Amino acid sequence: MTNTETTFQSMGLSQPVLKALTEMGFEEPSPIQARTIPLILEGRDLIGQAQTGTGKTAAFGVPIVERLDHRSRRVQALVLVPTRELAIQVAEEITRIGRFAGVKVVPIYGGQSYDRQIRALEHGVQVVIGTPGRVIDHLKRGTLKLDGVKMVILDEADEMLDMGFIDDVEFILQNVPEDRQTLLFSATVPEPVARLARRYLKDPEHIAINPERLTVPLTEQVYYEVREHEKLDALSRILDMEGAERTIIFCRTKKRVDELTEGLQARGYSAEAIHGDLNQVQRNRVMKRFREGGSEILVATDVAARGLDIENVTHVINYDLPQDTESYVHRIGRTGRAGRSGTAITLVHPREFRQLRQMERVLRTRLTRRPLPTPADVAEKQREALKARLAEEVERGVLPEYQELILSLAQSYDSVDIAAAALRLLVDKGREPQPALDFGETGAEPGMVRLFLNLGRADRISPADVVRGLAEGAGISGGVIGLIDIYDRFTFVEMPHEAAAKVLRNLPNISIRGKAVNMEPARPRA
């Protein structure tokens, strides 16, 4: 069965595991997962040759969760890893996979207190992920019992042997039941690893996955560090700074695609969604508008974007990190085609830095870190864009009747003042000027005002609801709205001074989810 034919559903996985994979954003198996999971579920010993960052943790994590006796609290699966960082990462991933199955997972590694690990082991654990030295320490103390182990996984086997763990690994393998399943995962299989496999694995299947090499030299690859609650605001600033003309934004799940598309539309961006829930007619309609410039942003899942042939994509943005390096390569390959340059942007949560570094090692490249643009940066960019438009208009030549009008005004007013007044009319679209409001200190970042809104989570409002209500009711651009913090009974919203003034002047016209609102300048943060 090839990867294109294999799905998680076709593997016969349980509903709790399928639900967990869906929430984690796994739409389909990666090559290593497609080829190894069915064999592991059959109980076969296996050598999986694949680089870090190819999705191999789930390749053994899914079968571990599926093959556990969930009624027992004995250690049934042991994963050996070379470093504490990898122990933590693998433990987190298997915990997420087993979230709805009630799996108990504990990492044990050097540098953490024995007492904490002993207490966790005493409470009953089904899966242990550990470094060889600390596993042996617990075995000798009698705090770790391996007599119930049915599966042993050696992860990053070549690295473990390079670090001198060969004797420790053999000692551990000699202290687990012989009637077990043994899996060995390694980026390379040098002779010491092959010798270990011959000695401890029973008629193993050898699966080798060659990762794709990055072949997009014209694509600039950058990343921004962004926390989850800041993502939509950060994305808006990045889009405004980049001046992106045709952009594909990737999310992990269909729900995420819909939420982001709604949020972007509420902020005034021309965005459309494409994912597996769209029928072919809807899909064709969305793609036609995107190709013809009717929309500038396409928000997609990995599977929905497969096979799309779109020219002149200037930017690809990873709103969510992909689950494996191959997916990253496929995503950013959508831009920088046919000899043109392109930009690939990735939003990275601090917890995802380990995954990012692994991807960089596989790709043998480093992504450039950029500071997140501030509202002041965006405003300056917009001013520069306006200057460029004015210069272009001057180059095209000015109509005589406009020249006569300016010459007439110039007899009474300074020409610079006339130009500034004309710009204000252009930007404000003819609205009557209003006296400036003094907001005082509201706890917002420089150049912004923080407003208090009397609706919150209890009113079932979302950031998209807030942006849409303020933009439509006050006549402001959704793109200028900054950070939105929603609490149970109230919400804080940040925006520039001018936009805040328009919002407060237009309160009678503003409603959010059909409810009238009250807004006022927030008190400074304590």
- Write out pLDDT tens, residues 124-137: 899 999 999 999 99
Tell me, what's the pLDDT at 216?
Answer: 47
* In 97-169, beta strands by DSSP E: 105-108, 127-130, 151-154
Tell me, what's the pLDDT at 149?
Answer: 96
The SS3 call for residue 249 is strand
The model's confidence at residue 177, banded by pLDDT at 50, 70 and 90, is: very high
The model's confidence at residue 187, banded by pLDDT at 50, 70 and 90, is: confident
The SS3 call for residue 375 is helix
Query: Using alpha carbons only, what angle is made at residue 168 by residues 166 and 172, rounded to the nearest 5 degrees?
Result: 115
Tell me, what's the pLDDT at 211?
Answer: 56
Quote the tokens at residue 360.
């960089």
Share of the chain above pLDDT 90, in %: 37
Is residue 430's pLDDT more than 50?
A: no
**CA–CA distance, 474 with 468 (Å, rounded to integer):** 10
Instruction: Tell me the pLDDT of the chain averaged across its residues.
Output: 85
Q: What is the pLDDT of residues 234-278, one digit of tens each?
A: 998 899 888 777 899 999 888 889 889 888 887 778 888 888 788
Share of the chain above pLDDT 70, in %: 91
**CA–CA distance, 384 with 377 (Å, rounded to integer):** 11
Nearest CA-CA partner of 343 in 361, 306, 318: 318
Average of per-residue pLDDT across 476-495: 87
Q: What is the pLDDT of residues 203-241, one digit of tens each?
A: 999 998 775 554 445 688 999 999 888 888 899 889 988
Is residue 404's pLDDT more than 50?
A: yes
Instruction: Tell me how far apart the terminal alpha carbons of the chain are, to the nearest angstrom.
Output: 61
Q: Position of tokens 């509201």?
A: 442
CB 78 within 8 A of CB 128: yes
Average of per-residue pLDDT across 514-523: 88
Q: What is the pLDDT of residues 67-119, one digit of tens each?
A: 999 889 899 999 999 988 889 889 999 999 999 999 999 999 988 889 989 99
CB 73 within 8 A of CB 104: yes
CB-neighbour burial class of residue 188 (10 A; exposed 0-12, middle 13-18, buried 19+): exposed
The model's confidence at residue 411, banded by pLDDT at 50, 70 and 90, is: confident
Domains detected in the chain: 9-208 (3.40.50.300), 219-373 (3.40.50.300), 383-428 (no CATH), 448-521 (3.30.70.330)
In the DSSP assignment, the letter for residue 3 is T
Average of per-residue pLDDT across 138-165: 92
Tell me, what's the pLDDT at 5?
Answer: 67
Average of per-residue pLDDT across 454-473: 88
CA distances, 121 to each of 44, 90, 108 (Å): 28, 17, 9
Tell me, what's the pLDDT at 4?
Answer: 46
What is the reported pTM?
0.59
Tell me, what's the pLDDT at 336?
Answer: 66
Q: What is the pLDDT of residues 10-47, one digit of tens each?
A: 999 999 999 999 888 787 888 889 999 999 999 999 99
Where is pLDDT greater, at 437 or 291? 291
